């Protein structure tokens, strides 16, 4: 019996790292989001929140964490905005807000977490995207490289994963730094 309990606990732990919670201001928002995501074919679960993310609303939605960007976009398109998005395994964690800036003579590079974007200082054309490990990174790089910073498709619109989210942060920081 002890062995069974241990195996069950390990299995639950391994799966929890793949998951995130969406929290909302009230229960009707939760139910609306559930409807939108279920219709879009996402595997989600409505459940009670852990103490760290309790905000008065007594329900959260559990979802596949790696696909956070796409899920939040699906909700936004339906006019639903979660109050917060957190990893199940560590609900107090927040996305990085530190950026590393590298100055090259003709180019500027911004890194957020594991993603880097580089633009030509004069033309503001995106010349390279590097880093990352999720499969939409090469797709995003192909879609954005060679385009003007203000005209390139944004990761939040065509990406799906947490790497795309990190690239969006780097992109926004670059946009801020390159704005007049």
Partner 1 sequence: MLAIVGTVPAADFPLSHGTLAYTPAGLTLNDDHLEVQRGTPALMAAASCACEALGLGSPYGFLVGDIGHGKGSRMLYQYLAEHIAEFACKTMVFHYLQPIAHWHKRVLDAIDALPSRPRLIADAGFMYAAKMGGQAVAYDLFTPDIGELAFLADENAPHPLYTRGFILHESARAPELIARAYAHRNAAKHLFVKGQTDYVADQGGIIAAIDEPSEPAMEAIGGTGDTVTGIVAALIQAGYAVPEACAVAARANRQAGRLARPNPATSVKEIILHIPAALEEALLEKGE
Site residues (vs partner 1, CB under 8 A): 13-15, 17-18, 64-67, 70, 87, 89-90, 93-98, 100, 102, 104, 106-107, 109, 111, 113-116, 118, 120, 127-139, 141-142, 145, 159-166
- Give the number of other Cβ atoms within 10 Å of residue 29's Cβ: 20
Give whichever of 44 and 166 is closer to partner 1, judged by the CB atom.
166
Residue-by-residue DSSP string for 101-140: EEE-SSEEEEEETTEEEEEETTT-BEEEEEE--STHHHHH
Half-sphere exposure of 24 (CA within 13 A, CB side): 22
- Looking at beta carbons, which pairs linking 9-14 to residues 24 or more positions away fall under 8 Å? 13/89
Give whichever of 27 and 102 is closer to partner 1, judged by the CB atom.
102
Distance of CA 161 to the CA centre of its chain: 6
Least distance from partner 1 to the Cβ atom of residue 24, Å? 20
* Residue 89, both tokens: 């395994």
Least distance from partner 1 to the Cβ atom of residue 163, Å? 8
Q: Inter-axis angle of helices 162-178 and 68-77, to 10 degrees?
A: 70
Alpha carbon separation from 153 to 14, 46, 47, 149, 166 (Å, rounded): 35, 33, 35, 9, 15
Give whichever of 25 and 95 is closer to partner 1, judged by the CB atom.
95
Least distance from partner 1 to the Cβ atom of residue 176, Å? 19
Least distance from partner 1 to the Cβ atom of residue 32, Å? 24
Least distance from partner 1 to the Cβ atom of residue 28, Å? 29
Give whichever of 32 and 107 is closer to partner 1, judged by the CB atom.
107
Give whichever of 28 and 102 is closer to partner 1, judged by the CB atom.
102
């Amino acid at each position: 019996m002890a062995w069974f309990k241990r195996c069950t606990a390990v299995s639950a732990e391994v799966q929890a790292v793949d998951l995130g919670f969406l929290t909302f201001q009230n229960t009707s928002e939760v139910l609306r989001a559930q409807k939108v995501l279920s219709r879009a074919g996402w595997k989600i679960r409505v459940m009670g929140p852990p103490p760290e993310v309790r905000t008065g609303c007594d329900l959260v939605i559990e979802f596949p964490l790696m696909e956070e960007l796409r899920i939040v976009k699906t909700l936004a398109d339906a006019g639903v905005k979660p109050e917060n998005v957190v990893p199940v395994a560590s609900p107090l964690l927040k996305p990085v807000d530190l950026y590393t800036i590298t100055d090259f003579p003709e180019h500027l590079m911004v890194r957020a977490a594991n993603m880097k974007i580089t633009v030509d200082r004069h033309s503001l054309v995106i010349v390279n995207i590097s880093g990352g490990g999720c499969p939409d990174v090469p797709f995003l790089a192909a879609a954005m490289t060679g385009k003007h910073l203000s005209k390139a498709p944004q990761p939040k619109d065509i990406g799906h994963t947490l790497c795309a989210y990190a690239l969006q942060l780097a992109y926004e920081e670059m946009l801020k730094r390159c704005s007049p």
